[in-house]
Chain A
Amino acid sequence: MTISTFFQLLIGGISIGALYALPALGITLIWNAAGVFNFANGDFVMVSCFLTYTLLSVLHIPFIVALLIIMVFMYFFGVVTEKIIVETLRKDNSIALKSLVCFIALSLFIRNLARFIWGTTPRTVKNPFGNNPIVLFGSVYIMPHTFWIIGISCTLMLILVFLFKFTKLGIAMRATTQNITVASLMGVNTKWIIGFVFGVSSIVAGFAGALSSSIFYITLDMGVMFGTKAFASNVIGGFGSPVGAVVGGLLIGVIETFGASLISSQYKDLITFALLLLFLIFKPKGIFKLEVAQKV
C-alpha cells in the first residue's frame, strides 16, 4: 500500500466514521437524559435519507434549504416519539425492558411506513457537493463530499459541546441527566428538557442521514446498519460517554474502510460486528471506561 492510498483510505474512513458518530452521539444523549435506549435511531437516519431524496431529487430544492427543512422535521419527529413512547412508559415501572421492546416495534413500524411511502427500490441522490475529486500533495485524490461531511460533523459536534457546556439550557440538560428529581426541584422543566433532547438527537441523526444520502444507496435496510453501527461505536467508545461515541464512530469507520480494502468488501460488515461482539464479550466498558456491566 502506497502512502497516498493510505491517506485516501484514512480520510474516507474518517468521513464514514463521522457519519456513524452522529447517530451514536444521538443514542448517548437520549441514554443519558431519559435512561432509555433508542433502538430506532438508525431508522431516524433512514427516514432523513429518504426525505433528502424527496427534497433533492423530486422537488429540486437546494441542499441548504433541504437541510433546514429536515432539521425542523426531525426535531418534531423526535419530540413526538418522546411524547408517545417515553411519556407513556414513564408511568410504568419497568421502563428499561419495556421501552426497548417499544423502540424495536417503533423501528419496525417506521421501516414499514417508509416502505409504504417510498417503496422498496433503492434510491440515489445526485451528489450535492460535486463529483470532481480534490488533489492533495500531488497524488492524494479525495472527493469533496468527504471534506463537507467531516466539516459539517465537526461543526455540529462543536455546537453541541457549546450547547452543553456554556448555555443555561445545557446546564439544565446536564442537571436532568445527573438527577431528574433534584433538577425538577430546582425549577428545571424536566419533561420539556427530555423532549428537547430527543429533538436534538433526532436532528443529529437527520444530519447523518442528509449527509450520507450522497454516498450510500438509500434503502430500507440502511436503518438497521446505521443503528447497529452507531451502537457498536457507542460500545467501543464506552457507553454513555459522548466523547467515546465520537471516537468509537471514527474508529469503526476507519477500521471498516481499511478492512474493506485490505481483506474484502464482502466482509466489511462482518468485521464491524465481530469487533462489536468481541468488545461486548471481553471489554464491555469500552475504551472510555464507564459502568455498563452490572456487578453484584
Chain B
Amino acid sequence: MKKYWYQIKSKPIVLFSLVFLILPLFLNNDYAVYVANRGLANATAVIGLILLYGIAGQISLGHVAFFAIGAYSTAILSATHSVPVPIAMMCGILISCIFGIFLSIPSFKLSGPFLSICTVAFGEVIRQLVINMEWLTGGPYGFYHIPKLVVFGYSISDVHTWYYILLAVAVLMAVVGNRIKHSHYGRALYAINEDEIAAEVMGINIRRMKRFAFICSSFFAGLAGVLYAHFAGYLSQDLVLSDNSYNLFTMAVLGGTDSILGGLWTGVGLTAAPEIMRFLQVYYMLILYFIVLLVVLVPWSKITKDVKDIINYKFLHKSKAVI
C-alpha cells in the first residue's frame, strides 16, 4: 500500500488521471461532461503552449489559431470532401503543424514583444479568414454536420465516451510533454529561454530548436482542435476569438509557466470556472485577471523562501539560512 502511495505521490500525473477517471460519476448532466470535454481539449492545447512559452520562452498570443486550423481542416475534409474521419483528423494535425513551421520563421529574427505581436497578427489573420471565407468555413453562420468518429464500425457520439478518449489523449500528451521537457530537446529550449547567444555558443542549433518548439505547440493545439471538432459536431467563429488565445495563455501562466501538470489542472479548471462561478457574472473576468497580475507581479519564490526562513528561525529554532 505504501509503495502505491509513493508511486502516486512521485507521479502527480497518476493523481490527475485518478481524479478525472472518477469525476464523471459526480457529473449528473451531459452539459457538465461536455464542459469537462472542452476543458480537456483546452488542457491538451495548453501543454503545447507551455512547451512554447514556459520552456522555450516564445510568447504566442494567437495560439487558438492553430486550434482553429486543426478543427476547420478536419471538418472541411471530412464533411465537404468526405474523407474518412481518422485520415481527416491526421491531415488536420498536419496542416496545423505546417502553419506552426510558417509561424516559426519570424521567431528566428524576432523576440519578446515583436514575436508576441507577430502571433497576435497571425491569430487575427486566421480569424478574419475564417469569418470572410464563407464558402469554405461557413463564416459567421458556423460549420455544421461534422461526421462522427467511427472506430471499428462503432460510431462515437456519446459525451462520456468522448470524455474518456479526451482524458486518455490529455494524459498521454502530458506524459509526452514531460518527456520532451526532460529530454535534451527540453534542456536546449530552456537554454534558449535563458540566453539565446549563450545557447548558440553551447552548440545548440537555435533555428532547429525554435522550429521544433513551434511544431510541438502547433501539434498539441491542432490535436486538441481536431478532437474538439469531432466531439462538438459544429464549429463557429467564436472559437477563433482572440479572447480564447488569451485564455489559453492565462492557463499556461497560472499553471506555473513551465509546469505541464499545472497546465492540465488550470486548463480544465479555467474552462469549468466560468460555468461554476456563474454567480460572479462580470466580476469573474475581473477577478481572474487581477489574480493573473498578482501571480506575475509578486515575487512568490522570494516570499515563500522568506516565510520558510521565518518559520524555521522563529518557531522551529533552526539555524538561519545564510543571507
- Chain A residues with CB under 8 Å of chain B are 37, 39, 84-85, 88-89, 91-92, 96-98, 100-102, 104-106, 108-109, 112-113, 115-116, 224, 228, 231-232, 235, 239, 266-267, 269-270, 273-274, 276-277, 280-281, 284, 292-294, 296
Once A92-B299, A108-B292, A296-B200 are accepted as A-B contacts, the answer to whether A281 and B113 lie under 8 Å apart by CB is no
- Chain B residues near A277 (CB-CB < 8 A): 106, 118, 121-122, 125
Query: Once the chains are docked, how many angstroms separate the CA of A296 from the CA of B110?
Result: 13
- Cα A89 to Cα B299 with chains together (Å): 9
A contacts with B: majority SS: helix
Distance between B170 CB and nearest chain A CB, rounded to angstroms: 25
Residues of B within 8 A of A276 (CB): 117-118, 121
Known contacts A89-B297, A294-B196; A112 and B121 CB within 8 A of each other: no
When distances are taken between beta carbons in the complex, the residues of chain A under 8 Å from B118 are 276-277, 280
| B window 88-139: CB within 8 A of A | 105-106, 109-114, 116-118, 120-122, 124-125, 128-129, 132
Interfacial chain A residues near B105, Cβ < 8 Å: 281
Contact, CB under 8 Å: A239 / B132 = no
Interface status of B289 (Cβ within 8 A of chain A): yes
Q: Which of A39, A102, A281 contacts B106 (CB 8 A)?
A: A281
With A106-B293, A277-B118: A296-B197 Cβ-Cβ less than 8 Å: yes
Interface size bucket, B side?
35 or more
The stretch among B220-228, B264-272, B278-286 that forms the contact with chain A is B278-286
- The answer on a CB contact under 8 Å between B112 and A37 is yes
Q: Is B249 an interface residue (CB 8 A)?
A: yes
- Nearest CB to that of B253 among chain A residues? A101
A116-B282, A276-B117, A276-B118 given. 11 additional CB < 8 A pairs? Answer: A37-B113, A104-B116, A109-B292, A116-B283, A228-B120, A232-B117, A270-B128, A273-B125, A277-B125, A280-B109, A281-B106
Q: What residue of chain B has the Cβ atom nearest to residue A264's Cβ?
A: B132
Q: Which of B242-299 contact A (CB under 8 A)?
A: 242, 246, 249-250, 253, 282-283, 285-286, 288-290, 292-293, 296-297, 299
Q: Assuming A116-B283, A277-B121, A292-B114, is B290 touching A109 (CB within 8 A)?
A: yes
Determine whether B46 belongs to the interface, using a CB cutoff of 8 Å to chain A. Answer: no
Q: Taking A85-B297, A101-B253 as contacts, is the C-beta distance between A269 and B110 under 8 angstroms?
A: no
Give A97 to B59 CA distance when docked, in angstroms. 9
Query: In whole angstroms, how far apart are the Cα atoms of A224 and B138 in the complex?
Result: 25
Write out the residue numbers on chain A whose beta carbons fall within 8 Å of the beta carbon of B290: 109
Q: List the interface of chain B (C-beta within 8 A of A).
A: 57, 59, 61, 105-106, 109-114, 116-118, 120-122, 124-125, 128-129, 132, 196-197, 200, 242, 246, 249-250, 253, 282-283, 285-286, 288-290, 292-293, 296-297, 299
B312–chain A nearest beta-carbon distance, Å: 24
B116:A100 contact, CB within 8 angstroms = yes
What's the nearest-Cβ distance from chain B to residue A229, in Å?
10
* A115 in contact with B282 (CB, 8 Å): yes
Residues in B with CB closer than 8 Å to A224 are 120, 242
A85 to B299, CA, bound (A): 12
Q: Are A280 and B110 in contact (CB under 8 A)?
A: yes
Chain A residues within an 8 Å CB radius of B106? 277, 280-281, 284
How far is it, in angstroms, between the C-alpha of A273 and the C-alpha of B283 when the chains are bound? 32
